[in-house]
Structure 1
Amino acid sequence: MDTEMLHQSARRRRSKALFMLAVLLILIAIVFLISMNAGSFRMSAGTVLNTLFGGGTDKEELILFEFRLPRICIALLVGAGLALSGCVLQGISRNGLSDPGILGINAGSGLVVLLFIAFYPTTDAAPVFALPILALVGACVTALIIFGLAYKKGEGIMPSRLILTGIAIAAAISSVTIVLMLRISPEKYQFAATWMAGSIWGSTWTFVLALLPWVIVLGAYMMVKARSLNVLALGDQLASGLGARVGGDRSRLLLVAAGLAGACVAVSGGIGFVGLIGPHIARRLVGPRHEALLPTSALCGALLMLVADTVSRALPMSSEIPTGIVVAVIGAPYFLYLMARSRA
């Protein structure tokens, strides 16, 4: 009887997870169609569909296929990647406030990318595929420093120490970044300032191809390690008692999460809160088991990022608002809400 009840409970969880994934995919498809019409040049839904199937004018095809679709794809990939990274960081640290932006991982990868911008032309397309690798180095080094300082022998990684260490490291890196920005040319300063605000600057198919393998490969590895994340969430002592290699699993997952966040930051700029909000919404929808939580987090992050990017392009402003600012408007109140709940 108990076994049958467990099977029924597992089936209900799977059915609920599949239903939520289907709903999120439908919402993404709807926002996707709306986003293709967002911008200074308006295209009706019929015109968009007609252009997608090869019936549009040269101007409509240029706007849709060379400007809007690559940017939409980047927004989806970045949102999914940052949400997956945040989900893994929250799992291995057992801290619901962990996020690659809050912990300073984005700042570390951003500093390396800014160094690249300072010494190479920003219009040079040849090193595009090197950007995720450079950001990966910065993100991984920063993550190792933060987790090393937050770790205490016998106690593991303390959640409060992790947050405070990440904020301190992020502040230090931001100071170095500001000094560096003051020493670059005015043209590169303008580009760097826009990038730091979270503008999706890499909006070409080249950047899509540069980011896509990182999201697929590292995201697939996270899915393979979903059960390990479930065990790590139980605590170090219990996880060790269940036979998990706590240190090795945590280190590998940390590097993968940092690498994925760094690759996303390389093409999207300093966008925060997606890795915080996405996993929290997903956890409310499908529960804490990472087999369902990881893909749901990815879709939540992709939807959030796509909505923010669509809003940033659709607002009637003289100049486009960086997507990161729109995300911050949504994420900052939610972060304060989570902080208030954690103190309760």
Structure 2
Amino acid sequence: MASLEQKRSARALVAAIILLALAIAVVIVSLNTGTIRLSPASIWRTLLGGGTSDEQLILFDYRLPRIVITILAGIGLGISGAVMQGVSRNTLADPGIIGIHAGAAFGLILFVSFFRTMEGPAALLIPMFTFAGGVVISIIIIALAYDRYKGIIPIRLILVGIAVEAGVSAFTLFLSLRLDEDTYSFTSRWLAGSVWGRDWINVWALLPWIVLIVPIIYFRSRSLDLFALGDETASGVGSQVTRNRLFLLGLAVALSCASVSMAGGIGFIGLIAPHIARRLAGPQHRHFLPIAALVGLLILVSADTIGRSIFQPNAIPAGVVVAAIGGPYFLYLLLHSKPNTRRNH
């Protein structure tokens, strides 16, 4: 048993090192990607405090904030997806698919209706609005998925979430059509998953959510492992199933909503990252949660870099690139996971 645990730990460590090296390489490429190209030597010199004023402007005011946002949001989406799949015991669960992102979008529509900007100190309030929207939708979903005798039924949680997501998205679209032209243009870019125009104030708005919530989730990884055994078995070994499920769901909602508040309505990362991480590091959450974070980071930074480089000078949103990959992958998982999902529920 100890030998198996050591093998899993070593396997996760190797995967983490490889993914971290890939992430660093993608970030370096992303720093050099844009309408104005900077050589690796110029980037290095500017990061160390040198470089021309134009190079400093391009790197520190435009590219670095955008890249840091994609790094943080990728981590948040990867971890929140892993938690959603753990508490629902469904490998097809994803914050975007079950309606959490729709709630965040609703919160953002309310924000832009009042403030009509993402810049300045008001940007610090954006995660609060998206989190509030996500919480409201989550409460509705949980209330509809709750059974007075069985508690929260995982499969009902997924199905109710999909239905609620459709209704909330339609209402959000209706509200967005009532905005003025400039605000509607901004909202449309956000809904498409664009990280264009992000500033350091947006980084500081997102950073505390990632730094505070991710470690808490990691230290509760044993609770996520127990959910895989089934509610009755988990209760039998002393786990407070409903309480732990609600607590972890709340953390996942907060992490997901904060991430999409700055990165936009990007779906599928919460679905793809945990699957890849589970294949690389095994089923235990303390092993694959860090891998899911790195995979989410790598996917989002790569998608943003591809969107900016291939279609210059007209960059496409990172969300569109992720959807182009995630849509077919979701169908693949749907076809191959259906029998297993039925057996688990």
Determine if the TM-score, normalized by the shorter chain, exceeds 0.5.
yes
1:58 matched to 2:61? The reply is no
Q: Within 5 Å, which residues of 2 pair with 1:193-272?
A: 193-201=188-196, 203-272=198-267
Q: What CA deviation, in whole Å up to 9, does each residue of 1:131-173 have, x standing for no partner?
A: 1111111112212221332233445544543332111111111
How many aligned residue pairs are there? 339
Q: Distance in 2 between matches of 1:129 and 1:202?
A: 15
> Cα RMSD over matched residues?
1.4
Residue identity over aligned pairs, in percent, reads 46
Matched with 2:342 is none
Which of 37, 45, 49 is 2:40 aligned to?
45
Which of 166, 177, 186 is 1:191 aligned to?
186
Q: Distance in 2 between matches of 1:245 and 1:143?
A: 20
Q: What CA deviation, in whole Å up to 9, does each residue of 1:165-186 have, x standing for no partner?
A: 1111111111111111111101
Q: Distance in 2 between matches of 1:39 and 1:259?
A: 32
SS at match of 2:32: coil
Q: 1:195 to 1:8 in 2, by over 3 A?
A: same
Moved more, 76-85 or 315-324: 315-324
Matched with 2:83 is 88
1:202 and 1:268 in contact (8 A); partners too: no
Matched with 1:23 is 18
Matched with 2:2 is 7
Give the Å deviation of 1:54.
Answer: 2.3
Structure 2 spans left out of the alignment, 5+ residues: 340-345
Which of 312, 316, 325 is 1:321 aligned to?
316
Q: 1:59 to 1:343 in 2, by over 3 A?
A: same
Matched with 1:334 is 329
Matched with 2:103 is 108
Letter of the 1:113 counterpart: L
Letter of the 2:172 counterpart: T
Matched with 1:290 is 285
Q: Distance in 1 between matches of 2:92 and 2:270?
A: 10
Q: Distance in 2 between matches of 1:271 and 1:209?
A: 20
SS at match of 1:244: coil
Which of 300, 303, 313 is 1:305 aligned to?
300
Q: What CA deviation, in whole Å up to 9, does each residue of 1:176-202 have, x standing for no partner?
A: 111111111011111111111111146
Q: Distance in 1 between matches of 2:227 and 2:270?
A: 19
* TM-score, normalised relative to structure 1: 0.95
Letter of the 2:294 counterpart: L
Q: Distance in 2 between matches of 1:123 and 1:72?
A: 17
2:87 and 2:154 in contact (8 A); partners too: no
Q: What CA deviation, in whole Å up to 9, does each residue of 1:244-264 have, x standing for no partner?
A: 011111111010000111111
Give the Å deviation of 1:269.
Answer: 1.3
1:274 and 1:327 in contact (8 A); partners too: yes
Q: 1:30 to 1:155 in 2, by over 3 A?
A: same
2:193 and 2:318 in contact (8 A); partners too: yes
Q: Distance in 2 between matches of 1:97 and 1:14?
A: 26
* TM-score, normalised relative to structure 2: 0.95
Q: Distance in 2 between matches of 1:43 and 1:21?
A: 29
Q: Distance in 2 between matches of 1:153 and 1:342?
A: 29
